[in-house]
Amino acid sequence: KGTQSRKLICSCGQVQAEVKSVTHGQFLLDIPCSLCQTRNMICIGKQYRTVEKIYCREEQLELGFVGNARDVEDTIAQYKHGLETIFASDAEIKNPQVLIGILNRLHDIAENGKLRCECGSMNIEGQLVDDGIELYCINCGTNIKFTSQVDELRYLKSVNCLELISKQYFHRKQ
């Protein structure tokens, strides 16, 4: 209550955000973005009846969720389970935070029905491979790999849809 702020601290000890009451039922959420190195100030209130994602204004990187505490906890548990499954493999991840950003962006594209294969299938799955993620079409096997590089994340943030296209191999006649 009042103007006192509270820090939201990760289990690793890093400050993830700071929240401050500004008026009755309204709070100012200050979240740092590790990608663009800026702080995102977001005003939140009781208007969040469902879980909504919070994004960095500069980089469109997913920063977290707002909403009913129980619903947010359930959403985080689902994400955590998904990430534990992905990171349970033996692949070496050099930039895990960037890879999580890539996974989040791919999820957003798929969630909006904008991830498909050139064969027309929308049945696309992903697999963690060699410091990245490979998407592949269940129908025809067409695939694409995204490595955990900032450039890959920036590319995905610049597109609203993604289509897997098979590689064409050309052989010269002699």
pLDDT by 10s per residue, the chain, length 174: 556 788 888 777 778 888 888 777 788 888 887 767 788 888 877 666 677 888 877 777 777 888 888 888 888 888 777 666 656 655 566 777 788 888 888 988 888 899 999 999 999 988 888 778 889 899 998 988 998 888 898 899 889 999 998 765 444 444
DSSP run (H or E) holding 143: strand 143-147
Q: How many angstroms separate the CA atoms of 105 and 158, rounded?
A: 10
DSSP run (H or E) holding 59: none
Residue 105 gets the label, from left (phi > 0), alpha (psi -120 to 50) or beta, of: alpha
